[in-house]
Structure formats: structure tokens, C-alpha cells
Amino acid sequence: MASNTNDSLSPKPLYSVALHAGAAESWFGAADTRTKTEAFIKDVIMLAETQLLNGIKAVDVVTNIVEQLENHPQFNAGKGAAINIDGFHELEAAVIDGSTSEYRAAAGLRQTKNPVRLARAMMSRTSPVFIVGPTADDLACREGLEMVDNEYFSTQSRKNYWLSNIDRVRSIIDHHGTVGAVALDIHGNLAAANSTGGLMFKSTGRIGDTAIIGAGIYADTEVAIACGSGEAILKASIAGRAAADVRHGRGIDEAIKGALLRSTDLDQTSSSGAIGIDAQGTISIHCNSRIFAVASASSTSQFTAGFIPSTIPITNQLICFENELIQVGMSRHPTAPNQLSVELKNYTSIMDLELKDFLDYFCTLRIMSHALQKISGHELCGFVTAGEQEATLLPISAPLAGSRSTPESPTDLHLETRELPGDYMATLHFKPDYMKPTKVEIGPASHMLTGMLSTEDYTIGMALAIWTTLELLHTEYGQTKALGVLEIYQAFTPGAVATLSESGSAESHFPAPAPFHEDFPGFMTMELGRRAENLLELPAIAQEVSRVIREL
């Protein structure tokens, strides 16, 4: 938790704050860039928390946050802004004070160092509410704001990217989009602010969603929302749609997720994110992009800061199966062809399921795997989950469990075995001086005539073995969740069919995309790959998978 708090004997006044630094599909930074970026947004959110505790109004806190993000060259706002088709920068920003419904915005700025400061300064005037182009810069100058040459907004990486691609301009989603912030202050006021440099190679004069009330930004006395990035937000009116749902009694988390799903209904290529806070201080953060740079803090929770993966793994057009327990759809960010995403509906983890639902879950996956095998032409499937709501089911081409690549185990490991129901066994791996296992392998004690997901009997037997192992970890070692990653390989031989481990068998690439493999590489990952190259074809594939499922 941030260090600036009230006396522990006194209850904290209610406050919440969140920021985002862009929804994105790509990541071009090195490991140290990620570390520095996360440290920066952490510092920004902690300062904002201090300001809220000191009684500063929400509208000023969000303005301060966005100004700091504008000054950071890693983000597409202010310094580091995108370059348009003609080789220069045009910026836009907006601020809304939810307590008064005052909204001000400016766009087409070429010389105003901090566009969000102009939007905030305009609140002292009754007119204009929205100003565009050279007169907007003129107004900023009259307001005494810092002015700069247009070249100030450039960074070397932006210029290099522009020069490399200008001769073959196409629709490119850059690695960071809009920046924004929302806050609830201790006086009960809500506010939102947004700023952006727009899209790389955008047409001169193009205005996006960022500064448009009801599209990229909204705030009133009940909710504050800031979105980024892209035309889909403008077309779907994400901020206004989500706010209307909140006013009609829908929870803010459900409202924001629903609005983002609506954006993909209108535009399958939508790559967006949104942050929101309601009058009770509830924070919601969602994205359908591959990554989203965010930070938040509140009077009731510890601060968080970092990159998150997509919170919406399945969009409406890509659903191929749904029942009361799960939803299954084609993956928007696959690491293998014909990859399926699996999402629990009313649970946060498969480890929270009762035994009946746990067995039903895997029996349903058996049907999904048969459909996937028929569509893909592969004989086997693999399953992986990080113990959360989401899981991945994908066709694999390696028939034997022993043929896959796994990290070599240290020679000084201590191994223990446990017998499980149905002629299965678990092998527990202990590192030296560790009291709890760091890895568990589960498999048949004797030869299997068919793979785990091939028949209902084998599926139930293996699922029961996994369930028993989870119970064993809980009763003997006090572990209430899986060790981290559960991997299941549909195997025909003795050995580890399922593995519970701290980090899984795959190398982590996050926040960069996980590599895409046409052929099974010997491991599976829960990390997201690049957005599917055949994204626009996936709805038709989902319909075909759905048809095959109905026929099974």
C-alpha cells in the first residue's frame, strides 16, 4: 500500500484513482523499458493517492496525472505523440468534472506542450467547450501555458518508425495509445481526463474518440470513465454506453466489459481498453487489446501498477460453445492454429469448482477437443490454465508425453510419489530446503490404451486424479490453489499427463507477444500471442466449430 495514509486508528476517507497509459497490440520495449514504465506509473499513482488524501479535487488530480503521462516519452500523448501522414503531430485532450458536468476539450493542437492543461484551463471560461486547430493553440498561449515547437513532441523511435513505414502506409496499431485517468476524491466528486497523439499515419485533421464526451471519456455524479484507443470506441460510444448502464443499476465492471464487447460487435478489429470508477469507489479495468498499461489505488485496496493482458478473451462473434459453466471461443491472440479460449462464467478459477462441476468441466472439454481435432486434422489436444478463469485448448501434433520439451529438473530434487484413484499416481518435486512441492506430475501408473480426452471414462479418471492431487496439496501442505500452471497433454503412454508447476513449461515473453507456432513446439503457454492474422475469418471458423460440436 502507498505510504501516505491517515492514522491507522482513524478510518480512511473514501477515494479511488486509476490511470491507463494505452491499450496496445504490440510491445517493442526491452525488459528494462518495461521495468521503468511500471515504476513510472507506480510513482504517478502513488502521488495521486497522496493528493487525494490531502483533499485535492478529483478534477485536478486527473489533470495532474495526465500531464505527467504527457511528459513521459514512452506514451502516445504529449512528448512521444504519434506522427501523422504529413510528418507532424496533432494532439487532443479532454477533462470532465463529474460534480458539475463541466466538460472541455481541445484537438488539432500542434504547439501546446500539455493539451490536458488547456482543457482544464478552459473550465474557467463559459465558451468554448471544444476548440480545434490553430485557434486552440492560440487560446493556450493566451492562457499562459507552455508552448513548444512541433518537433518537441517527436522521439527518435517515433521518427524511425514513421520513416520506415511511410512508403507502405497501412492500418497499424501502435504500441501505446491514449492516456487517461479517473478519480473519486474524498469529497465524493468524480472526474476523468484523457489525452492522445492519435494514430500513427493518421490523416491531418483527424479527431479520434479521446476528447469526445460519451465516446472516449465521461463523468457525472455516479461514474467516471476514460477509454483508449481507436475508432471502435467512437463508433460504439463506449464511455457513454457504460455510464448509462451504471446509472440503470448495472455494476461498473459488467458495464465496462459489456461496452467493450459491443465495440467488437461493431468492429472485430477493435483493440481498446477502459478504466472506470463509480460513486462507491469501485474500480473497473478492462481491455480487449493484448496488453493494457494501468495503475490504480484506493482507500480499500493496495495500489497496483503494470501491464495486464486482455480481460476479454472471447468476443461475441467468436463464441462456438456456451453452457451454464463455461464459454468457449476462438482465440483472438493465438499461439497455435485453431486455438480455443475457455472461460469460466461464475467462478474465478477451476480450483474453486466443486467436484461435480470440476468433472463436468473436463467432460465438456473432451467434446471441445473432439471438435477441434476434426476441424484441425490433429489427433491430439492440449490444455493449459494458470489457475484462473481462463484456459486454452489447442491441437497438438506430439503423440507422446515423453516427446515434448520440458525444462530439465535439477539433479538435487527430492521426489515423492502418491497413489491416486483409478490407477494414477502423482510425483511431487521438492527443491532443497523447500517444505512444499514446487511441481507435481500426474499420470497413469500403467499403459493407457487411449488419451485423456478421448473417452469419457479416461477423462473422468484423469480429472478425478487431478482433483485428488489438489486436495492432497491442500490437506498436506496448506496450498489452497494450484501451484501456478496446470498443463494437460493428451498422452497414450505412462508418464506425466498433467503437470502442476509454478510457472509452466513455456518461457515468458510478456509484455511482448508469445511466439506463434504452426507446429507444436513441445510446450504450451497461457500468454497471448499476436493478434490473429486471420481475425476477420475467425467468426466463420467459430460457426464451423459450433456446427461440429452440435453433431458430436
Give catalytic residue positions. 178
Sequence-ordered list of residues with C-beta below 8 angstroms from that of 391, at least 6 positions apart, any chain: 341, 342, 343, 350, 383, 384, 385, 526
Say whether 495 sits in a helix, a strand or coil.
coil
d(CA 128, CA 126): 6
Identify whether the C-beta of residue 118 lies closer than 8 Å to the C-beta of residue 92.
no
Helix (H) or strand (E) holding 547: helix 538-551
- Which residue type sits at 191? A
Cell numbers 455510464 correspond to 243
Distance from chain centroid for Cα 449: 40
CB 317 within 8 A of CB 542: yes
Q: How far apart are CA 413 and CA 402, in angstroms?
A: 19
Class of residue 379 by CB neighbours under 10 A (exposed 0-12, middle 13-18, buried 19+)? middle
Contact 501/469 with Cβ under 8 angstroms? no
Longest dimension (CA), the chain: 82
> Please, how many CA atoms are within 13 Å of residue 333, restricted to the half-sphere of its CB?
27
Are the C-beta atoms of 74 and 37 separated by less than 8 Å? yes
For 544, the 3-state DSSP assignment is helix
